Amino acid sequence: MLGIDPGLTRCGMGVVEGSVGRPLTLVDVNVIRTSSTLPVAERLVSIEKGVDAWIEEHRPDAVAVERVFARSDVSTVMGTAQASGIAMVCAARRGLPIALHTPSEVKAAVSGSGRATKQQVGAMVTRILRLDAAPKPADAADALALAITHIWRGGAQARLEQAVARSRGGLRP
């Protein structure tokens, strides 16, 4: 599972392996960084190349991206939305399932509280993945938290949706 915490300056990327009820394992984590001195289009190309390289290297089964939500700073929201769109295009181009998870959903999944702080999320990611230290910067820990959330919640949600579709005659077991 590839988790992506989109951002124009720092785009967190985290790959986690495992399934519900089994220990999860960190495969890789990093942050794609772009300089604010570059034009936005060039920054988006850098993010696209980085996301494509990660998908090519790690071959995830699915991609979980943080759902963009409106904050007071419109320029931050725009950059985040643009980076999010690039991540989704990279995954869709390869036919990978894409899931969007809200920040509060991710916080609740990994910490038990939708209002957890970045430090609490980092601490829980460290504990869940049995790491020696929290991934830095927070964008890296957030990307791993997205991957964890999707493994824990996304798989169950997909099974529920398939069951509903089968009950309506849309899918066969």
The residues assigned a catalytic role are 5, 66, 139
Q: Is 66 flagged in the annotation as binding?
A: yes
Please state the three-class secondary structure of the chain as a single string: CEEEECCCCEEEEEEEECCCCCCCEEEEEEEEECCCCCCHHHHHHHHHHHHHHHHHHHCCCCEEEECCCCCCCHHHHHHHHHHHHHHHHHHHHCCCCEEEECHHHHHHHHHCCCCCCHHHHHHHHHHHCCCCCCCCCHHHHHHHHHHHHHHHHHHHHHHHHHHHHHHCCCCCC
Q: Is 139 flagged in the annotation as binding?
A: yes
Tell me the HSE value of 107 on the side-chain side, using a 13 A CA sphere: 13
For 2, 31, 163, the CA distances from 64, given in Å and listed in that order, are 6, 15, 22
Q: Is 17 flagged in the annotation as binding?
A: no
Q: Annotated binding residues for Mg(2+), as ranges? A: 5, 66, 139
Q: Annotated binding residues, as ranges? A: 5, 66, 139
